[in-house]
């Protein structure tokens, strides 16, 4: 018996990209997989149940066990339904990977209320909704005496954590919220033996990253493609596997590199002899601090994809892209 034999994982957004790679990887190592994906477009419009069913067919053809679910994570009852479907099909649920996301890129002066709400509903509320119903099930099992390793793995993004991507007020805010919620849920759910972690993929080729500078670069003629969604799958499998001790961690993944994300941390400080600053004191004091340059931060996060003239190219890209 392998580590994943008899264990069931529910993966949202598993019809394409990173979620699909995780589903294929986990099924290959022996997990029962619930492939959730409503088959919507990048902006959340439309829907096609066949997207999830195609991944299930691929898994079954390889000898794995999987079922499809086309519910929306943003729908409270839909989130409950996918958890119940996992338990009904396989007897229990051991792990959840919250991967679902939609994206609408637009500058703050052009982003509509609906575009903001729709992205946050899927990424942030959807992560919470699925986690909530999984936690309800696990609480009931724990009270009944079941002591089985269980885990939640959330998926965030460099946008909101490391990369201040222009045009992503909604997406960045939602992903930052997911990372913060990871820590909260790790603390809350430890009493039921549930571990909660988060991965933040960067420069991975998906529908959502197609427009990011540098993503269209061809892979090397030899070796694995560092932008292939499959680079995330081994870490995801480890974090939701029964042998993993980690909880409350946010880990960035970029090619073969994994880094610990520490979130907002205190930097350089100023102090005044009194309690209230004067504006002139603030002007003088703040000018001495080593303050981050958001353009430099973004250029560094993109791995130098924009070259030595990164700042100018970024400013041009922002002006052209956000005024559409």
Alpha carbon separation from 212 to 18, 157, 217 (Å, rounded):
16, 13, 11
pLDDT of the chain along its 324 residues, tens only?
467 778 999 999 999 888 999 999 999 999 999 999 998 776 667 768 899 999 999 999 999 999 999 999 999 999 999 999 999 999 999 999 999 999 898 999 999 999 999 999 999 999 999 999 999 999 999 999 999 999 999 999 888 888 777 888 999 999 999 999 999 999 999 999 999 999 988 766 555 555 555 555 555 555 566 667 888 888 889 999 998 999 999 998 877 778 898 888 777 888 888 777 777 887 888 789 887 776 677 677 665 555 555 566 666 666 665 665
Strand 32-36 relative to strand 65-69: parallel, antiparallel, unpaired?
Answer: parallel
Catalytic residues: 171
Structural domains in the chain, sorted by start = 8-260 (3.40.50.720), 279-322 (no CATH)
Handedness of CA 121, 71, 197, 200 (dihedral sign): negative
Task: Give the relative orientation of helices 233-240 and 17-28 as an angle to the nearest 10 degrees.
Answer: 60
pTM: 0.86
Report the first-to-last Cα separation within the chain, whole angstroms. 55
Alpha-carbon 249 to chain mean position: 13
Sequence-ordered list of residues with C-beta below 8 angstroms from that of 208, at least 6 positions apart, any chain: 17, 42, 101, 103
Report whether 179 contacts 161 (CB < 8 A): yes
Report whether 49 contacts 14 (CB < 8 A): no
Token pair in block for residue 74: 């943003």
Count other Cβ atoms within 10 Å, centred on residue 135. 22
CA atoms within 13 A on the CB side of 315: 6
Determine the Cα–Cα distance for residues 298 and 167; give it in Å rounded to an integer: 13
Least Cα distance to 150 among 193, 99, 191 occurs for: 193
Determine the Cα–Cα distance for residues 179 and 110; give it in Å rounded to an integer: 26
Determine the Cα–Cα distance for residues 308 and 299; give it in Å rounded to an integer: 10
């Amino acid at each position: 018996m392998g580590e994943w034999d008899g264990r069931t994982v529910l993966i949202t957004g598993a019809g394409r990209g990173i979620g699909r790679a995780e589903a294929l990887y986990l099924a290959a190592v022996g997990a029962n997989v619930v492939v959730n994906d409503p088959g919507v477009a990048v902006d959340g419009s439309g829907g096609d149940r066949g997207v999830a069913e195609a991944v299930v067919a691929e898994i079954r053809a390889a000898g794995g066990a999987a079922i499809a679910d086309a519910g929306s994570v943003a729908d409270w009852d839909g989130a409950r339904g996918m958890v119940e479907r996992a338990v009904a099909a396989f007897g229990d649920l051991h792990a959840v990977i919250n991967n679902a996301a939609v994206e609408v890129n637009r500058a703050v002066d052009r982003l509509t209320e609906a575009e903001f709400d729709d992205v946050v509903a899927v990424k942030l509320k959807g992560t919470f909704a699925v986690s909530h119903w999984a936690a309800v099930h696990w609480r009931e099992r724990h009270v009944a005496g079941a002591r089985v390793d269980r885990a939640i793995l959330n998926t965030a993004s460099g946008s909101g954590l490391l990369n201040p991507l222009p045009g992503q007020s909604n997406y960045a805010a939602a992903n930052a919220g997911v990372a913060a919620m990871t820590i909260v849920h790790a603390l809350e759910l430890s009493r039921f033996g549930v571990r909660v972690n988060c991965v933040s993929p960067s420069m991975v080729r998906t529908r959502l990253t197609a427009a990011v500078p540098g993503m269209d670069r061809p892979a090397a003629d030899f070796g694995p493609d560092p932008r292939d969604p499959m680079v995330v799958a081994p870490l995801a499998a480890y974090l939701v596997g029964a042998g993993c001790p980690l909880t409350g961690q946010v880990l960035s993944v970029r090619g073969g590199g994994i880094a610990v994300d520490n979130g907002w941390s205190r930097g350089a400080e100023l102090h005044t002899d009194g309690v209230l600053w004067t504006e002139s004191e603030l002007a003088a004091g703040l000018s001495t601090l080593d303050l981050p340059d958001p353009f430099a931060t973004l250029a560094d996060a993109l791995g130098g994809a924009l070259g030595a003239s990164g700042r100018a190219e970024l400013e041009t890209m922002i002006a052209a892209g956000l005024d559409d």
